[in-house]
Structure 1
């Protein structure tokens, strides 16, 4: 992926090295579907703790009951990453690229794009959705419109699933920014409201459609970023598709327990995630990402 020399966003906050965020209870998702790495961490947690990974996954995905959502995160003093931190520079560049792309797309439709802040942290950190944990993987909190990322997740992608490459990492960031776009469009709120009165099976199905749309939005970003700034190199798209395949619900459940339970899917199958990311990157059109009216995912 060609990214060096491109604009870097100043909208990145570095909380690494700070004390982990306190606060009572676990991470409050407030009805929002969980981050891209949740199932991955369930596998790791199950291995470390000797607990069935599906038990951890059920808790992380909200199956363990209601969780409270804070309305405001504790005030943090904004600190920029060191200028010589190459990984942070990469994240800042990818974030800037999403900012430029979505600003242009929103403007074309007569709207204004509100840039999300991206927070780098390690371990845990306070958020408007409760205490954010590295164990959830990268995630977006609509309460403060921030994307939270522990860079160790990228090491986990490579070590556990043999998924590497900067564009695969950029896909992860763009997916979470996709959730921010959904929030700005009012889609996240509609899904959250519908989930409150739905059965667990219905709520999971809604989460799948939300996650697949975020995959498609990530593809839309990649289409326009490459058209404008020629960021893609040979093998980049294949790396992103490999990442999408590796974190499909069916692939992760099969690895965790040897079989799949479709009704418990919250992110979509490997095939679905590849299909919707591909729809976005091939068309570059937001209209192609309407997973909520799609008869076949």
Structure 2
């Protein structure tokens, strides 16, 4: 079964202090939630099924994410090695934070795999879209991160941390059963319905990513002025890479980024019960 989520970096603005977004692969089939591999299921509950998985997820009742001491180091312009190190360390921080959070939900948790690539590889979820800078595939629970000269020009750590946290947010959605609801809802749905659901799942990943970023902002660090610049840029430009409006307008992306960052909690990220005006 195939299910892909993709994150693209706007090549024209790769050096701008902007958060990034993801898009959903056009080739979707219904998926069935399965227990996380490598995790004992003793005392672990199965994820909710159907609409409840998205609208009333146990994640929304877990409070703030733990503060994680996350010091991934600097990204040196043009240095693939420093970028790999940075991403790998941020992933470790994400694993630690979300493992703790999932313990509160009594849902099974497993770490996603991480793979770097300098080319657009084929994955179990299909071919890596040409416009994407990264990709999450739920079939093998792997986050694919592209390394290119354009990406390596951006040395802003908060930008890359948000990008990675967004991709990880899709893994969180998968483990929580939200992906299962999404995939089954858009299977054979009309185009307008698919786009509306896509915006809900992508904007939620934005929010989950920024909630995590808030909880590492003391050590990464993320200064308020830098965060404000990121949000301002995304409000003006966030939609330009997605002409089908499957990620929401820039103002919608900015709104959910702010919600997550201000709260530091998944409770702020329930896009599934939000009014459509917040998901335009």
Scaled by the length of structure 2, the TM-score of the pair is 0.68
Map of 1:9 onto structure 2: none
Q: Would you say 1:282 and 2:265 are equivalent positions?
A: no
Q: Which has the larger radius of gyration?
A: 1
Map of 1:143 onto structure 2: 139
C-alpha distance after superposition, 1:56-92 (max 9, x if no partner): xxxx953xxx5799xxxxxxxxxxxxxx921111111
Map of 1:292 onto structure 2: 272
Q: How does 1:1-297 map to 2 (within 5 A)?
A: 30=2, 32=4, 34-37=5-8, 40=10, 62=26, 85-132=81-128, 135-152=131-148, 155=151, 158=154, 165-226=156-217, 229=219, 231-233=221-223, 235-242=225-232, 244-245=234-235, 248-249=238-239, 251-252=240-241, 264-295=244-275, 296-297=277-278
The Cα shift of 1:223 comes to 2.1
- Between the aligned partners of 1:292 and 1:234, the Cα distance in structure 2 is 28
After superposition, the Cα gap between the structure-2 partners of 1:192 and 1:156, relative to the gap in structure 1 and judged at 3 Å, is farther
The Cα shift of 1:181 comes to 0.4
The Cα shift of 1:166 comes to 1.1
2:231 and 2:254 in contact (8 A); partners too: yes
SS in 2 for 1:36: strand
- Between the aligned partners of 1:234 and 1:154, the Cα distance in structure 2 is 26
SS in 1 for 2:186: helix
The Cα shift of 1:125 comes to 2.3
| Number of equivalenced pairs | 219
**Unaligned stretches of 5+ in structure 2?**
14-23, 31-79
Q: Which has the higher contact order (CA 8 A, sep 6+)?
A: 2
User: How big is the alpha-carbon RMSD for the aligned residues of Structure 1 and Structure 2?
Assistant: 3.2
After superposition, the Cα gap between the structure-2 partners of 1:191 and 1:123, relative to the gap in structure 1 and judged at 3 Å, is same
After superposition, the Cα gap between the structure-2 partners of 1:274 and 1:152, relative to the gap in structure 1 and judged at 3 Å, is same
After superposition, the Cα gap between the structure-2 partners of 1:182 and 1:217, relative to the gap in structure 1 and judged at 3 Å, is same
**Unaligned stretches of 5+ in structure 1?**
1-28, 45-59, 70-83, 159-163, 254-260
After superposition, the Cα gap between the structure-2 partners of 1:109 and 1:37, relative to the gap in structure 1 and judged at 3 Å, is same
- Between the aligned partners of 1:31 and 1:200, the Cα distance in structure 2 is 17
After superposition, the Cα gap between the structure-2 partners of 1:289 and 1:154, relative to the gap in structure 1 and judged at 3 Å, is farther
After superposition, the Cα gap between the structure-2 partners of 1:134 and 1:120, relative to the gap in structure 1 and judged at 3 Å, is farther
1:31 and 1:195 in contact (8 A); partners too: no
Structure 1: which 4+ aligned runs deviate by more than 6 Å? none
Q: Which structure features the higher share of helix residues?
A: 1
- Between the aligned partners of 1:247 and 1:290, the Cα distance in structure 2 is 24
